[in-house]
Amino acid sequence: MTAALIEARALGKSFGPTPVLRDVNLSVEAGRGAAVVGANGAGKSTLIRLLAGLSAPSPGAAMLFGEPARSLEPALRRRVGLLSHQSFLYPNLTARENLEFYATLYGVEGVRAAAIEWLERVALGAAADARVRGFSRGMEQRLALARAMLARPDVLMLDEPFAALDADGAALAAALVREAMDRGCAVLASAHSAAALEELGFAVLTLSRGKLLRAEPSAMRQSAARASLARQVS
């Protein structure tokens, strides 16, 4: 049996008296992907933050590599990549300087070469020496994706990876995610719509009001989404 690299055990989170996540159980093994879909406020970003170790569970356990995500050793933290809804980029640094900075923190060999390679891979080679402050939202998202992936992590967590990307950008992002999975990376992604992630072979899980529902066949999920939309419109 393959050990799970990402695991949530009876994971919960409350902000004051309000529970945002309740009893979430999931696991993602090496080379596999899981997509958590749900409406705004369903708890997708909270789940990713818990599993990335940015927030403390209450109650339950968020585990990476079999260790609590909040107390990973630096050697294990080096193997985790996170794409958040915030870009984690410094606006007054250039694209290349941002990647070089993170490459240094993550101990990437050949910092400058790695930065240039990843800028080319996300089609930002021409903007390497431009400050991030002047980037469009889509360019920033592609650079943030490069930042999350440049250390070639074994665990990748992506909060809305295709947000703000045009069709070409989304295809490029999908190719990078697929490549990461092919080399054995475990990927957990959140999205409003599962279509793009489902095509990548992700197991789709639905999060509703903080509860993880069983994986639903695509047709059922689309039907539920349509019904939900109809209720909102009426």
Partner 1 sequence: MNSFTAVLRKDLLLEVRGGQSTVALGALSLLVLVVLVFAFNPGGGEQGAEAAAGALWVALVFSGMLGATRAVSAESENGCIRALLISPLDRAALYAAKLAAAFIFMAVAEAASIVLMVLFFNLEFDARVMRLVPAVLLGALGFAALATLLAGISSRLRGGDLVLPLLAVPMFVPALIAGVKASAAALGGAPMGEFAVWLKVLVAFDVMFVAAGYLLFEYVAGEE
93 binds partner 1, rule: CB under 8 A: yes
Asked if 218 is part of the footprint of partner 1 (rule: CB under 8 A), the reply reads no
14: contact with partner 1 by CB under 8 A: no
Ranges of beta strands (E only) in 91-162 are: 155-159
Residue 75 in the binding site for partner 1 (CB under 8 A): yes
Applying CB under 8 A, does 74 fall inside the site for partner 1? yes
User: CB 20 → partner 1: shortest distance, Å?
Assistant: 12
Let me know: does 155 contact 79? Beta carbons within 8 Å: yes
Where does the chain show beta strands of DSSP type E?
4-15, 18-29, 33-37, 61-64, 67-68, 80-83, 155-159, 186-191, 203-208, 211-213
Indicate the residue type of 146.
Answer: A
Residue 65 CB, shortest distance to partner 1, in Å, is: 14
- Which of the ranges 95-103, 121-129, 197-205, 218-226 carries the binding residues for partner 1, by CB under 8 A? 95-103
Contact partners, residue 145, CB within 8 Å, separation at least 6: 83, 122, 158, 161, 173, 176
Which of 14, 84, 208, 222 forms a contact with partner 1 (CB under 8 A)? Answer: 84
The smaller minimum CB distance to partner 1, of residues 87 and 206, is found at 87
User: Which amino acid does the sequence have at 179?
Assistant: E
Q: How far apart are CA 173 and CA 155, in angstroms?
A: 16
Residue 204 backbone phi and psi in degrees, to 5 = -105, 125
Tokens of 95: 């694209």
> By C-beta, is 133 or 183 nearer to partner 1?
133
**For the window 133-162, what string marks contact with partner 1 as x by the rule CB under 8 A?**
--------------x---------------
Question: Pick from 4, 5, 60, 106: which binds partner 1 (CB under 8 A)?
Answer: 106
List contacts with partner 1 (CB under 8 A): 49, 52-56, 74-75, 77-78, 80, 82, 84, 86-93, 97, 101-102, 104-107, 111, 131, 147
